[in-house]
Amino acid sequence: MGGTFDPIHHGHLVAAEEARWQFELDQVLFIPTGQPWQKPVGVSPAEDRYLMTVIATTSNPAFAVSRIEVDNPGPTYTVDTLHRLRAELPDGTRLLFIGGADVVQQLPTWKEPEQVLALAELVVATRPEFDFDGLVQTLPGAAGRVHRMEIPALDISSHDLRARVARGAPIEYLVPEGVARYIQKRELYR
């Protein structure tokens, strides 16, 4: 599961755990982006985002966090990360990329979208009213490679959490407690 994780929140964690269960995954690897090329301004330092992701995931034995993009200077592309993961994994390992519904909309703008779908199947967390079939039909290379995953909808986004911190609104119960404490300690999003 890739993301900016600025900050990681319960929407991410619910999607990850549901994917682990629905797709019988051995592991969910959270991959915080290094310098996201589509969100270059105002993103928190990679180390802060990495540490918040570690704090949020340590209690789940199936969750792990990768530094593969954080340690890579310059813009990171999902296709390059997937190539590197594939090279490290035993042949025949099933690789799934977990994301929210916006991933399907954005995928055509990514570097080598068809290659992304060849390297990994896509698991899309959706809401009941979401037009999944309509979106997937427009994606080249999507046949049999994109899976819909219904999750309990949590209307939480990192963008909204940052805005809440900036105006002094609480973020308790929207993020794991350790993440809220970390944001406070590092004075993020003020």
Window contacting ligand ATP (CB under 6 A); options: 65-73, 130-138, 151-159, 168-176:
151-159
Smallest distance from ligand ATP to CB 42, Å: 10
Could you say whether residue 43 binds ligand ATP (CB under 6 A)?
A: no
Quote the crossing angle between the two packed helices 177-186 and 46-57, to the nearest 10°: 150
Closer to ligand ATP at the Cβ: 15 or 70? 15
CA separation for the pair 32, 68 (Å, rounded): 8
Q: Would you mind telling me the total number of residues written for the chain in this entry?
A: 190
Task: Rule CB under 6 A: say whether 122 interacts with ligand ATP.
Answer: no
Q: What is the size of the binding site for ligand ATP (CB under 6 A)?
A: 17
* Distance of alpha carbon 8 from the chain centroid: 9
Give strand ranges (E) for 132-187: 146-150
**Do the beta carbons of residue 48 and residue 60 sit within 8 Å?**
no
User: Rule CB under 6 A: is residue 7 a binding residue for ligand ATP?
Assistant: no
Q: Is 159 in the site for ligand ATP (CB under 6 A)?
A: yes
Region binding ligand ATP by CB under 6 A among candidate stretches 19-27, 66-74, 155-163, 174-182: 155-163
Among 47, 102, 131, 177, contact with ligand ATP (rule: CB under 6 A): 102
Helix locations, 108-176, DSSP H: 113-119, 132-137, 158-166
Is the Cβ–Cβ distance between 64 and 30 less than 8 Å? Answer: yes
Q: Which of 5-13, 62-70, 85-93, 166-174 is the region at the interface with ligand ATP (rule: CB under 6 A)?
A: 5-13
Among the listed ranges 66-74, 132-140, 156-164, 171-179, the one in contact with ligand ATP (CB under 6 A) is 156-164
Residue 113 touches ligand ATP, criterion: CB under 6 A: no
Say if CB 29 and CB 68 are below 8 A apart: no
Return left, alpha or beta for 24; rule: phi > 0 is left, psi -120 to 50 is alpha, else beta.
left
Which tokens is 74 given? 């310059």
- Catalog residues that contact ligand ATP under the rule CB under 6 A: 3-6, 11-12, 15, 99-100, 102-103, 125, 154, 156-159
